[in-house]
Amino acid sequence: MHFRYPLADGVKTAEGKDYIVVATTRPETMLGDTGVAVNPEDPRYKDLIGKEILLPIVDRRIPIVGDEHADMEKGTGCVKITPAHDFNDYEVGKRHQLPMINILTFDANIRDAAEVFNTNGEASDAYSTELPAKYHGMERFAARKAIVAEFEELGLLDEIKDHDLTVPYGDRGGVVIEPMLTDQWYVRTAPLAETATKAVEDGEIQFVPKQYENMYFSWMRDIQDWCISRQLWWGHRIPAWYDNDGNVYVGRTEEEVREKNGLAPVVVLRQDDDVLDTWFSSALWTFGTQGWPENTEDLKTFHPSDVLVTGFDIIFFWVARMIMMTMHFCKDENGKPQVPFKTVYVTGLIRDENGDKMSKSKGNVLDPIDMIDGIDLESLVEKRTGNMMQPQLAKKIEKNTRKTFEDGIEPYGTDALRFTLAAMASTGRDINWDMKRLEGYRNFCNKLWNASRYVLMNTEDQDCGFGEGDIEYSLADKWIESQFELAAKEFNAHLDNYRLDMAANTIYEFIWNQFCDWYLELTKPVLWKGNEAQQRGTRRTLITVLEKTLRLAHPVLPYITETIWQSVKPLVDGVEGDTIMLQALPQFEEANFNQEALDDIEWVKAFITSIRNLRAEYDIAPSKGLDVMLKVADEKDAARLEANKAVLASLAKLEDIKVLAEGEETPACATALVGKSELMIPMAGLIDKDAELDRLAKEIAKTQGEIKRIEGKLGNEGFVAKAPEAVVAKEREKLEGYKETLVKLEEQKQTITAL
């Protein structure tokens, strides 16, 4: 609505009009207007600053003030100011010392008489409290219609325009929330913020990641007084009492108030009905939970704490307020303010797989308990919609739930969920949840469980080398010890740097790829065919490395590691205690590290992997024994081959391994590089030449077709110009992949043709 406000004292605008036009979406609040704001740079109105208007209906003279809150480009450029009923107007009113007139009751009806206050919240006689009788007791929206009608009747309704408006609604009552003048308790935060800001500037408190310090500083360097009273049923009640004369007394208890102020028993006191802001109570947490204000042993021992873990969305609401309150109330023996904690580790917020914030109304919220224990579809629907009061919203959530979780949610277990959260804890602000990763880490837990069963099957009731008897460690034993030391070193470094994602990945890489996929396979030839001393060495390595691995993984996989450790503990000398939780976290030990063993096993792994890759490329059955030849590059590779012939023959399924003499001729072979040496598999008799050439021809034709298709797409200027950059880059990446595949297929074709 656009209303005409008449100018007082015969003043006219630059255009010769005796009124200015103000725009409003809440006409009923004009009864409480105490000013009109214009931008001081607006040439249309700047000459009117300091003049007055006659507020229609109530005939109140109110000033025109210059304030940047008025946007020259928005609406008419004139903004009505109602300090008692609008948050922005309240700030404008404070800047220009405009009185505040409350026209509404707590039921949002027009009052019989207004309340007039100055900017300090004190009763004022700057304006009359009278309001037009016909509006007394009228509901606010009925008053809105009546006031618009009266403006039209007075000839002061300029026009009505459609306007998109964001209106706050109460989540319980479902009605529009009205700003309201009330008496509240505040904490003056500026002096507290100064000390708390300096603590972070001086490095007494560190934020991880460091960029969140900027968010902290932006709040603290522009801080406002903190309203700490809330009109709720539950909470810590404000420790203030009032007598019948309106005097206020503050103390811990009513008895303390009476004693401190010498109040006679006949003086009636009433405690404030408000409760403390939740964040106020939370701000006392670091010291209030440890016996403060008494200087208890807990306080001396555990305060300040070391690390606070929190989300970035409450850095101001909680973190900053804890720092301010702690540094104000807690001092060391020299009177220096104590910090509550030394490091603030800030986590991201978990969103759904599309990057949307999890919301009940969207139906994309996941309950961790459901992922741990599992839940069927019908129970999940009932859980999400059963208590909803809004049928339309319930139907929407049911539809989304049935579409997203067609088969319900499988049980994944606590450890898998915990590991997933750790693995996704990057330094970014958002974590997009992925059920496939949760499924993958459940498989990882199963992998650890099955690997542990293999170790226990081969060590329980066996001689594990802790007593008498010779012991001989294999190259694989020395290698896995060295790999574990590297993993322990990396894991601890990542924890020190608060990179839980990288720590989890280190555990995953070591357990899955090194311990399970390689070391357990490398132990089989020894356990099956080695002598007693070699078997003792491998059993001892198996059980000791597993025990250390369980301790290393325990922080991110607490339950499965505890369960397995209870079975492993009796088999390892020197390991005592009732729980893995009280065991030491493994650290890097130089004495157990052997670089030569690492290099040698990497060569062995490359040899076995090359054989397996060639089998896959040429479609040779994994069970078929092969004869291989090796053209060694140096004596070291020859020594590695000789020392590991039994392992290579066993794991690569080889009939014979021959070292070629220099210049020795070879038949047509499939080849691969192992380090600097060349590995060759004679192909004659291994494959059906014609069938393989036919298969390769089809693969080559298919690959050439894909290359042509993608080249055509990338050659289309319209596609390249309109498609997102990431899509174009993906197509180029696919093209390069197909070209590499084509080169390999052509090489295979040449090899087979030469047979």
* Predicted local distance difference test score (pLDDT) of residue 7: 96
> What is the residue whose two structure tokens read 């594990």?
464
Strands in 8-96 per DSSP E: 19-23, 35-38, 52-55, 60-66, 78-81
In tens, the pLDDT along 277-287 reads: 999 999 999 99
How far is 158 from 22, CA to CA, in rounded Å? 9
* Cβ burial 628-647 (10 Å sphere, 16+ → b, else e): bbbbbeeeebeebbeebeeb
In tens, the pLDDT along 334-355 reads: 999 999 999 999 998 888 877 8
pLDDT range class, residue 753, cuts 50, 70, 90 = confident
Tokens of 88: 């922005």
SS3 content of the chain, % helix, strand, coil (to 5): 45, 15, 35
Q: What is the DSSP letter of 117?
A: E
Whether residue 684 has pLDDT greater than 80 = no
* Predicted local distance difference test score (pLDDT) of residue 623: 87
Q: For residue 305, which of 282, 278, 323 has the smallest C-alpha distance? A: 323
Whether residue 174 has pLDDT greater than 80 = no
What average pLDDT does this structure show over 406-424?
A: 93
In tens, the pLDDT along 471-486 reads: 999 999 999 999 999 9
Whether residue 332 has pLDDT greater than 90 = no
Amino acid at residue number 620: I
How far is 151 from 148, CA to CA, in rounded Å? 5
pLDDT range class, residue 97, cuts 50, 70, 90 = very high
What average pLDDT does this structure show over 611-637?
A: 87
Contacts of 11 (CB under 8 A, 6+ apart): 18, 48, 51
- Secondary structure (3-state) at 405: coil
Contacts of 460 (CB under 8 A, 6+ apart): 571
Q: Which of 119-123, 199-203, 431-435, 749-753 has the lowest mean pLDDT?
A: 749-753
Whether residue 751 has pLDDT greater than 80 = no
In tens, the pLDDT along 500-531 reads: 999 999 999 999 999 999 999 999 999 999 99
Contact call for residues 158 and 21 (beta carbons, < 8 A): yes
How far is 192 from 224, CA to CA, in rounded Å? 11
Contacts of 729 (CB under 8 A, 6+ apart): none
Tokens of 79: 């903004």
Q: Which of 392-396, 518-522, 560-564 has the lowest mean pLDDT?
A: 392-396
How far is 275 from 732, CA to CA, in rounded Å? 62
pLDDT range class, residue 746, cuts 50, 70, 90 = confident
* Predicted local distance difference test score (pLDDT) of residue 164: 73
What average pLDDT does this structure show over 252-267?
A: 94
* Predicted local distance difference test score (pLDDT) of residue 658: 87
Tokens of 732: 């180029």
* Predicted local distance difference test score (pLDDT) of residue 740: 86
Average confidence score pLDDT of the chain = 91
How far is 579 from 254, CA to CA, in rounded Å? 50
Whether residue 666 has pLDDT greater than 90 = no
How far is 52 from 65, CA to CA, in rounded Å? 9
How far is 528 from 186, CA to CA, in rounded Å? 77
Q: Which of 433-437, 440-444, 492-496 has the lowest mean pLDDT?
A: 433-437
Contact call for residues 513 and 436 (beta carbons, < 8 A): no
pLDDT range class, residue 30, cuts 50, 70, 90 = very high
* Predicted local distance difference test score (pLDDT) of residue 619: 81
* Predicted local distance difference test score (pLDDT) of residue 172: 65
pLDDT range class, residue 199, cuts 50, 70, 90 = very high
Q: Regarding predicted confidence, which is higher, 61 or 749?
A: 61
Whether residue 361 has pLDDT greater than 70 = no
* SS3 of 171-190: CCCCCECCCCCCCCCEECCH
Residues in the chain: 755
Instruction: Please give the span between the terminal C-alpha atoms of the chain, in angstroms, as a whole number.
Output: 90
Whether residue 238 has pLDDT greater than 90 = yes
* Predicted local distance difference test score (pLDDT) of residue 171: 66
* Predicted local distance difference test score (pLDDT) of residue 678: 85
Whether residue 542 has pLDDT greater than 90 = yes
* Predicted local distance difference test score (pLDDT) of residue 597: 95
% of residues, the chain, pLDDT over 90: 67
Q: Are strands 229-230 and 206-208 parallel, antiparallel or unpaired?
A: unpaired
Q: Kindly state the helix (H) or strand (E) to which residue 593 belongs, with its residue range.
A: none
Contacts of 243 (CB under 8 A, 6+ apart): 249, 263, 267, 268, 269, 270
Count CB-CB contacts under 10 A for residue 451: 21
